[in-house]
Amino acid sequence: MRGLLALIIQDFKRLLTNALFWVITASLVVIILVINFALPQRVTQEQYRLVTNHATLSGELATVADSEDEIRQAVEAGNTIGLMRKADGSITVFHPQLSAKTVHALMVTIANATPVHVQVESIHEGGRIVPFNKRMTPIFICFEALVIGFILGGALMLSEKEEGTFRALRVSPMGVDRYILSKTVLFSLIAVLYALLMAWFSVGFDFPALGFILLSFFGAAIFSLLGLAFTSLFKDLSSWFFSMAFVLSINMLPVMAYMEPSFSPLWIRVIPSYTIIFAYESILFGAEGITVAATLTLAGWCIGAYALSRAAVGASLLARGRR
Amino acid sequence: MIQVDHVYHDYEGKGIYAVSDISFTVQSGKVFGFLGPSGAGKSTVQNIMTGLLPVQRGEVRYDQYSVKALRTKFFNRIGVSFEQPNVYARLTGYENLKYFAALFSAPTCDPMELLDSVGLREAANKKAGEYSKGMRQRLTLARALLNKPEYLFLDEPTSGLDPATAASVRELIKAQRDRGAAVFLTTHNMELADSLCDTVAFLYGGKIAAMDSPDALKRRYGKRLVTVAYQEGESERVAAFDMDHREALVAFLAQNNPITIHSQEATLEEIFLLVTGKELTA
Ligand SMILES: Nc1ncnc2c1ncn2[C@@H]1O[C@H](COP(=O)(O)OP(=O)(O)O)[C@@H](O)[C@H]1O
Ligand SMILES: [Mg+2]
């Protein structure tokens, strides 16, 4: 598209004078330092007592209980995991809402300690064991590098509204597509750069770069487009800022599902960052890379976000005869 | 040609019209001026013409095309300068023009030459946010000229400019007219309207009170006097003649030694007062 590059360059120059841009850039450095030096490699787990009626497991490790009721009561009392051996030889685990991963680990331990066959279902098959600090990298990339367009695209747009340059654009042959594309591409390029920096500095170079770049580019595009659509509802920075921060924090809720994979209700999975964080996880740490399902979901988000942005920005930018 | 046909505008939808029953035509190669005090509705009409405000009633046509149906591409042919100078404060004057130049698919002027023509060459690499209001206004004007527009809209192009700068802006507008642009300008500056406009419309209270060429307006409403300063002995004297009785003037000129001859026309300002009962600058 004619002139797109020139528009991107001028928007970039405006960005360089924007304080928010430098705040985000500075926090990029801080986050890289935090990942490498401040976060522990392992998160210490809480200590749990073990209660069981299983002869093999009792002894120095566990408190002995006689009945299922007794085990249940002990677990409900707190800080306790119960293992009950049933008449048929199978084992039931009672636990105070531990994560699937913890239960998994527990089951493996039991399987090793007893001749009984314990059925275990693995949640993330094929995954390497990732240190806690590195495991946070997808989260930091998603909420630092990728949301840059959501925040700064909005900030650029609102300064155009406040300066009145938006009105000048409305009587120019800008067109809504060029308006949203020039800003989206700019932020996607910056996001790719920042995401690569974060990944290189925290997990090294051992990941498929092309998939990573594409994910960063289009992931950031989704946020920029949604941000422009959202911002077009506002007239000035002050009324926008807190709403923007609120929407961003909702967008961060999928972190819960990432930390606690057993908790992933539908309403969390429909937030775009959900797919993006897990896609980063599988690109950075997974053996198989990004899945077809995730690719399709992200493509859907891109198209949807573009359509939404086009409609929302178009209504304020191009609808003839609106102030 | 731009045709404005019985246009009304009601901002609040309460039946109070900011402008009403506005009709006029702007021809290519001509300057059409809206002269009126602040609040008369000049900007409202310009904004309706450029599509920034909806056409609530009536019609605005560019040749055959209604402003309601203009496509984005059509804005390659339009240039608009705003009353409130609106430029990218964080970009330099030069970058401002580069940004907008990138939007046009039509050929554009060289930004530096344009800046030169509005006296901003020296300030080209300064941030527009550091410009004075007058400088930002000239930058806005330069931006409107970027795409050599066929239709040029100028909202108060000389307000706040010193006389010398205002004069150079006037020359710039003349050059646009001579290039063949249809120029619509609004002003409360009587001299600008007088010296530049082929047609002037007096706008007052949202209505056109009178519309004609400045000369025709003066002829219609002016006193049509000629004053002659002449030498009589040692002293200088002045005589006045009614243009409706020219014989006396001719006879007088034949018998005396005139120093200066002035046609004592009423100014547009006086005519505005006569027509609307209000002062232009009030
Ligand atoms: N956005 C607006 N909302 C409501 N009234 C407005 C608005 N803009 C202008 N007006 C009113 O419309 C009238 C004409 O204003 P305007 O067109 O700006 O006049 P001018 O340009 O001649 O100074 C004024 O009475 C003004 O108060
Ligand atoms: Mg005005």
Please indicate, yes or no, if residue B51 is contained in any of the structural domains.
yes
Q: Return the structure tokens found at A103.
A: 């239960």
Distance from CA of B133 to the nearest CA of A (A): 13
Lowest mean pLDDT among A170-179, A271-280, A283-292: A283-292
Q: Is the CB of B46 under 6 A from ligand 1?
A: no
Residues B23 and B134 occupy one common structural domain: yes
Chain B residues within 8 A of A320 when measuring between CB atoms: 51, 54, 67-68, 70
Q: Is the CB of B42 under 6 A from ligand 1?
A: yes
CB atoms inside a 10 Å sphere around CB A270: 12
ipTM over 0.95: no
Q: Which position has the higher pLDDT, B138 or B243?
A: B138
Q: Best substitution site from B44, B83, B185 to test ligand 1's pocket, by max atoms within 8 Å of Cβ?
A: B44
Please indicate, yes or no, if residue B122 is contained in any of the structural domains.
yes
Specify whether the CB–CB gap between B101 and A9 falls below 8 A. Answer: no
Q: Which residues contact B6 (CB under 8 A, 6 or more apart)?
A: B21, B22, B23, B57, B58, B59
Say how far apart CA B242 and CA A219 lie, in whole Å.
81
Which residue ranges make up each domain of chain A?
2-39+131-322, 49-122
Residue keyed to tokens 């020359």: B171
Q: Which atom of ligand 1 is nearest to the CA of B44?
A: 17
Taking the Cβ of residue B51 and every Cβ of chain A, the question of whether any pair is shorter than 8 Å is answered with yes
Residues B13 and B148 occupy one common structural domain: yes
pLDDT reported for residue A85: 76
Task: Kindly report, residue by residue over B7-44, the tens digit of the pLDDT.
Answer: 999 998 888 999 999 999 999 999 999 999 999 999 99
Residue of chain A whose alpha carbon sits nearest to that of B54: A321
CB contact under 8 A, A7 and B104: no
Lowest mean pLDDT among B47-61, B70-84, B111-125, B260-274: B260-274
Q: Give the mean pLDDT of chain A.
A: 82
Percent of chain B with pLDDT over 70: 98
Residues B209 and B229 occupy one common structural domain: no
**B47 CA to middle of ligand 1, Å?**
11
CB contact under 8 A, A173 and B75: yes
Please indicate, yes or no, if residue B282 is contained in any of the structural domains.
no
Among residues A14, A318, A31, which one has the least CA distance to residue A153? A14
Please indicate, yes or no, if residue B82 is contained in any of the structural domains.
yes
Is pLDDT at A101 greater than 80 in this prediction?
no
CB contact under 8 A, A165 and B86: yes
Say how far apart CA B151 and CA B143 lie, in whole Å.
14
Is pLDDT at A173 greater than 70 in this prediction?
yes
Residues B6 and B76 occupy one common structural domain: yes
Specify whether the CB–CB gap between A76 and A102 falls below 8 A. Answer: no
Is pLDDT at A47 greater than 70 in this prediction?
no
Percent of chain A with pLDDT over 90: 33
Residues B125 and B93 occupy one common structural domain: yes
Q: What is the mean pLDDT of residues A248-262?
A: 85
Q: What is the mean pLDDT of residues A61-73?
A: 77
Report which bound ligand comes closest to the CA of B36: 1
Among residues B99, B148, B93, which one has the least CA distance to residue A3? B99
Residue keyed to tokens 């925040």: A151
Task: Kindly report, residue by residue over B154-184, the tens digit of the pLDDT.
Answer: 999 998 888 888 999 999 999 999 999 999 9
Task: Kindly report, residue by residue over A109-159, the tens digit of the pLDDT.
Answer: 666 665 554 443 333 334 456 777 788 889 999 998 899 999 999 999 999
Please indicate, yes or no, if residue B269 is contained in any of the structural domains.
no
Residues B24 and B104 occupy one common structural domain: yes
Q: What is the mean pLDDT of residues B114-129?
A: 94
Reported as a pLDDT band with limits 50, 70 and 90, residue A259 is: confident
Specify whether the CB–CB gap between A140 and A35 falls below 8 A. Answer: yes
Residues B137 and B202 occupy one common structural domain: yes
Please indicate, yes or no, if residue B270 is contained in any of the structural domains.
no
- Chain Cα centroid distance, residue A172: 38
State how many domains chain B has.
2
Output the residue whose Cα is nearest ligand 1's atom 12. B18
Domain with B80 in it: 2-214
Q: What is the dihedral of CA A243, A249, A250, A255, to 10 degrees?
A: 170
Residues B136 and B60 occupy one common structural domain: yes
CB contact under 8 A, A159 and B76: no
Residues B63 and B168 occupy one common structural domain: yes
Q: Is the CB of B18 under 6 A from ligand 1?
A: yes
Please indicate, yes or no, if residue B99 is contained in any of the structural domains.
yes
**B44 CA to middle of ligand 1, Å?**
6
This prediction has a pTM of: 0.78
pLDDT reported for residue A323: 37
CB contact under 8 A, B82 and A323: no
Please indicate, yes or no, if residue B281 is contained in any of the structural domains.
no
Distance from CA of A321 to the nearest CA of B (A): 3
Task: Kindly report, residue by residue over A290-306, the tens digit of the pLDDT.
Answer: 788 888 999 999 999 99
pLDDT reported for residue B261: 84
Chain B residues within 8 A of A8 when measuring between CB atoms: none
Say how far apart CA A240 and CA A234 lie, in whole Å.
6
Among residues B254, B193, B155, which one has the least CA distance to residue B33? B193
